[in-house]
Amino acid sequence: MVEEAKVRRLKRIVTLCIVILFATWFSINFSFLTNSQNGGIRFALTTLFALLILLRPKSESEEDDPLEGHSPMPMSWAVTAVAGVFLVLAGLVLRVHQVEWLGLLTLIYVSLRWIMPARASRDIFLSLFLLYWAHPMPSQVFAPLQFAMQKISVNVSEWFMHVVNVKVWADGMLLIAGRHSYEIPAACSGLRTATTVFLLSLGLGVLRRFNIIEIVLLVIAALVQAVMLNVIRITVMVTLMPKVGEGSGPQFLHDTAGYIVVAAVLLVFLETAIWDRIKSARDIEKADLSSGIIKGLSGLPSFWNYFASRRILVVIAVIVAALTVICAYKSRSYHRAEMLKGVATDLR
């Protein structure tokens, strides 16, 4: 009992040290974390989801270590902790922030693994994996990624406007419509929205215990939606700005950035809630033995009964199929050539 009390007291001290260490690092690097594009939102989202995942009720499927509570820290964990210290020191000396950040997360991971029950090990890893993204991306990664998003936004905007029969031509980072040209700045590339929904969808998927395939699909859907919302914003600018003044285009993109982020976030929340509800309904259906009997007495063949029970999904699938056919038809080389010919004619 005395030994167990000592271990508990030592774990409280280690917990306090973790909090002090992280708070100190955050206060020292506050400006570095928040000055980057979308830095404040990124840090807040990752920290919030990391805490929610770390503190959520743990699964009882895994039993705790029988020595939990009075065993010393395993040697492998101690070696990992020392490696984390060396990473932090190397990052400070070499001024490589990513190395310093990885070392700090390694120290926190080892400490939490020793402090918390064994069944929390998966949540500890997932929470720190999310927390990793709180750190700004290196400029060697951020700049090419922003350029790629800028290029994608311009090219997809041209394609989308051709689908809705708007004559436009994408030339580099410019969209030319008639005698008007619109530059899409790097700050309006949609990377801010994409980063936000990436972290949000990843955090919600892990928090709601989605499997890896569901999380990947949710993240992909969120990123596609972020790009399309930015494309719709650019399309509205190209369509309306000639009527209100060409010079107001960049200001329009800047003023609507917040609305795009909010819309993308709401879509992710809505899709996550809908999918969670569908999964819950499936679980109830599987658990309810009488459900199968009722379906068997409905008088419908099993094939039609399957679709009748999923009417909403069938309607959505039909709509998506119809839109896919329309987009494919409007994406023909002939149609694009006609749109570009219209732009060239207007420039004469």
In order along its 348 residues, the chain shows pLDDT tens digits of: 566 777 778 778 888 888 888 888 888 888 877 776 677 788 888 889 999 998 888 765 544 544 444 455 677 778 888 888 888 888 888 888 888 889 999 989 988 888 888 888 889 999 999 989 888 877 667 778 888 888 999 999 999 998 988 888 888 888 888 777 888 888 888 888 888 899 999 999 998 888 899 999 999 999 999 999 999 999 888 888 766 555 566 778 888 888 888 899 999 999 898 888 888 877 776 665 555 555 545 555 666 666 666 677 778 888 989 988 988 888 888 888 888 888 888 776
Tokens of 169: 């031509």
Residue 103: C-alpha distances to residues 18, 128, 135 (Å):
13, 12, 13
128 and 270 part of one domain: no
281 and 160 part of one domain: yes
pLDDT digits (tens, 9 = 90+) for 67-107: 444 455 677 778 888 888 888 888 888 888 888 889 999 98
Strand partners, 175: 170, 182
CB 88, CB 103: distance < 8 Å: yes
64 and 212 part of one domain: no
Domain boundary pick from 136, 152, 167: 136
97 and 199 part of one domain: no
Secondary structure (3-state) at 169: strand
220 and 205 part of one domain: yes
| The overall pTM is greater than 0.75 | yes
Average pLDDT over the chain, rounded to whole?
Answer: 81
242 and 322 part of one domain: yes
- Domain containing residue 31: 2-136
Q: Identify residue 56 by its one-letter amino acid code.
A: R
> Of 279, 275, 298, whose CA–CA distance to 307 is shortest?
298
Please identify which residue in the block is written with the tokens 């419908």. Answer: 300
194 and 327 part of one domain: yes
With a CB cutoff of 8 Å and minimum separation 6, the contacts of 157 are: 168, 170, 175, 184, 231, 234, 235, 238
pLDDT digits (tens, 9 = 90+) for 216-270: 999 999 999 999 999 999 988 888 876 655 556 677 888 888 888 889 999 999 9
Helix, strand counts (H, E) of the chain: 15, 3
From CA 149, how far away is CA 146, in angstroms rounded? 5
According to DSSP, residue 168 is labeled -
For the chain, the domain total comes to 2
Secondary structure (3-state) at 180: strand
